[in-house]
Amino acid sequence: MDGPVFLTAPAGLAPAAAGRHGAAPWSLLCDRDGTVIENRSDYVRTPAHIRFLPGAVRALARATEAGVPIVLVTNQSPIGRGLLSLGDVVSLNRLVTDALSAQGVRIAGTYLCPHAPADRCSCRKPEPGMVRAAMDRFGLDPSRTALVGDSVDDVLAARRAGVQGVMVRTGRGAQHAVRLAALPEAAGTPVVADLAAAVERLGQIFHAAGDRSPAASAFRQETRRAEA
């Protein structure tokens, strides 16, 4: 496998280009392990390892309701390390997306990098290959697209692809925030508590950038109500 693997959305879920309020206010590329579900030092290898982080599903459901397209972008080196097969990882990811779907979250699709770090591929974050592939497939505007993750690699992938990056302190984020502060390439990257806080911050960022569409306004109102 030379490039990233694309996994289609669960049955019946098309790419969410718009919600009930009209055109999408912005687009969300989301890391998985450490951002949506718990990160494990020994990798997510069985269904029992899938545990959603507090508030993550609710945050993604609010984004879905407001018409924000969501694509998961995840490094899955257990494949390249020989610990899991591609089929194993596909099955585990489907459990994640099916569980999200049951809670009202629309995932447009998942990009995963199957390579080990030693493979030096162009898709494993911090390289921007998966981010660019997602933007190309779904026609996303980089000026209105963000990547949220818990590692320096997520932030660097965002920067190199020309999209907004946000780091969360869940997963490895608390430790990686220290490293992030020392990287000139990542200067100015917001660091927030969790995915819910990231979604809130991104609503503010894109509003400040001039997005005053009805969809963006409705998204911010829904987010404030959910936080109240």
Q: Catalytic amino acids?
A: 31, 33
Q: How far apart are CA 167 and CA 177, in angstroms?
A: 8
Q: How far apart are CA 165 and CA 149, in angstroms?
A: 8
What are phi and psi for residue 173, nearest 5 degrees? -60, -40
DSSP the chain: --SPEEEEPSTT-----EETTEE-S-EEEE--BTTTB---TT---SGGG--BPTTHHHHHHHHHHTT--EEEEEE-HHHHTTSS-HHHHHHHHHHHHHHHHHTT----EEEEE---GGG--SSSTTSSHHHHHHHHHHT--GGGEEEEESSHHHHHHHHHHTSEEEEESTTTHHHHHHHHHT-GGGTT--EESSHHHHHHHHHHHHHHTT---HHHHHHHHHHHHHH-
- Taking each helix axis as running N to C, give the angle between helix 214-227 and helix 195-208, from 0 to 180 degrees, rounded to the nearest 10: 150
The neighbouring-strand residues paired with 109 are 8, 71
